[in-house]
Amino acid sequence: MYRTHTCGELRIEDSNKEVTLSGWVQRVRDLGAMTFIDLRDRYGITQLVIDENTPEGLSSKIEEMGREFVIQAKGIVRERSSKNKNIPTGEIEITLSGLVVLGPAITPPFTIQDDTDGGDELRMKYRYLDLRRQEVQQNMVLRAKMAHATRSYLNSLDFIETETPVLIKSTPEGARDFIVPSRMNPREFYALPQSPQVFKQLLMVAGFDKYYQIVKCFRDEDLRADRQPEFTQIDCEMSFVEQKDVLETFEGLTKHLFREIKNIEVEDFPWMPYSEAIEKYGSDKPDTRFEMLIHDLTDVLKGNNFVVFDSAEYIGGLCAIGCGSYSRKQLDGLTNWVKRPQIGAKGLVYVKCNEDGTFKSSVDKFYSQDDLKKWANVFNAQPGDLILVLSGDKPAMQSALGELRLEMGNQLGLLDKNTFKPLWVVDFPLLEWDEEGQRFHAMHHPFTAPKPEDISLLDTDPGKARANAYDLVINGVEIGGGSVRIFDSGLQLKMFDLLGFTPEQADAQFGFLMNAFKYGAPPHAGIAFGFDRLVSLFAGLDSIRDVIAFPKNNSGRDVMIDSPSEVAKEQLDELALQLKK
Instruction: Give the relative orientation of helices 243-262 and 134-156 as an angle to the nearest 10 degrees.
Output: 140
If the CB atoms of residues 286 and 482 are measured against ligand ASP, the closer one turns out to be 482
What's the min distance (Å) between Cβ of 481 and ligand ASP?
5
What's the min distance (Å) between Cβ of 218 and ligand ASP?
11
If the CB atoms of residues 197 and 398 are measured against ligand ASP, the closer one turns out to be 197
C-alpha to C-alpha distance for 72 and 301, rounded to whole angstroms: 76
If the CB atoms of residues 153 and 199 are measured against ligand ASP, the closer one turns out to be 199
C-alpha to C-alpha distance for 497 and 484, rounded to whole angstroms: 19
Q: Taking a C-beta distance cutoff of 8 angstroms, is the pair 191, 178 a contact?
A: yes
What's the min distance (Å) between Cβ of 528 and ligand ASP?
4
Interface ranges with ligand ASP (CB under 6 A): 195, 197, 481-483, 526-528
C-alpha to C-alpha distance for 375 and 552, rounded to whole angstroms: 48
| Torsion angles phi and psi, residue 145, rounded to 5 | -65, -40
DSSP code, position 176: P
If the CB atoms of residues 132 and 533 are measured against ligand ASP, the closer one turns out to be 533
What's the min distance (Å) between Cβ of 476 and ligand ASP?
18
What's the min distance (Å) between Cβ of 483 and ligand ASP?
5
- In the bound state, the residue with its beta carbon closest to ligand ASP is 195
C-alpha to C-alpha distance for 76 and 419, rounded to whole angstroms: 46
What's the min distance (Å) between Cβ of 240 and ligand ASP?
17
- Between the alpha carbon of residue 217 and those of residues 17, 166, 197, 232, 534, the distances in Å are 50, 8, 11, 6, 15
For residue 529, the SS3 value is strand
Task: Report long-range pairs for 197-201 (Cβ below 8 Å, ≥24 apart).
Answer: 197/171, 197/173, 197/445, 197/447, 198/171, 198/447, 198/510, 198/512, 198/513, 199/164, 199/165, 199/168, 200/164, 200/235, 200/236, 200/237, 200/526, 201/237, 201/447, 201/485, 201/513, 201/516, 201/524, 201/526
Cα 56–chain centre separation: 55
Q: Taking a C-beta distance cutoff of 8 angstroms, is the pair 245, 468 a contact?
A: no
If the CB atoms of residues 372 and 525 are measured against ligand ASP, the closer one turns out to be 525
| DSSP bridge pairs for 315 | 391
If the CB atoms of residues 528 and 544 are measured against ligand ASP, the closer one turns out to be 528
If the CB atoms of residues 317 and 422 are measured against ligand ASP, the closer one turns out to be 422
If the CB atoms of residues 195 and 243 are measured against ligand ASP, the closer one turns out to be 195
What's the min distance (Å) between Cβ of 527 and ligand ASP?
5
C-alpha to C-alpha distance for 370 and 361, rounded to whole angstroms: 12
What's the min distance (Å) between Cβ of 396 and ligand ASP?
25
Q: Are strands 524-530 and 477-484 parallel, antiparallel or unpaired?
A: antiparallel
If the CB atoms of residues 238 and 345 are measured against ligand ASP, the closer one turns out to be 238
What's the min distance (Å) between Cβ of 384 and ligand ASP?
44
What's the min distance (Å) between Cβ of 257 and ligand ASP?
18
What's the min distance (Å) between Cβ of 149 and ligand ASP?
20
If the CB atoms of residues 375 and 496 are measured against ligand ASP, the closer one turns out to be 496
If the CB atoms of residues 306 and 529 are measured against ligand ASP, the closer one turns out to be 529
DSSP 103-160: E--PPPSS--STT----HHHHHHTHHHHTTSHHHHHHHHHHHHHHHHHHHHHHHTTPE
What's the min distance (Å) between Cβ of 173 and ligand ASP?
6
If the CB atoms of residues 201 and 489 are measured against ligand ASP, the closer one turns out to be 201
Closest CA to 409 of 241, 255, 489, 292: 292
C-alpha to C-alpha distance for 377 and 353, rounded to whole angstroms: 11
DSSP 287-350: -TTS----EE-HHHH-SSS-HHHHT-SEEEEEEETT-TT--HHHHHHHHHHHHSTTT--S--EE
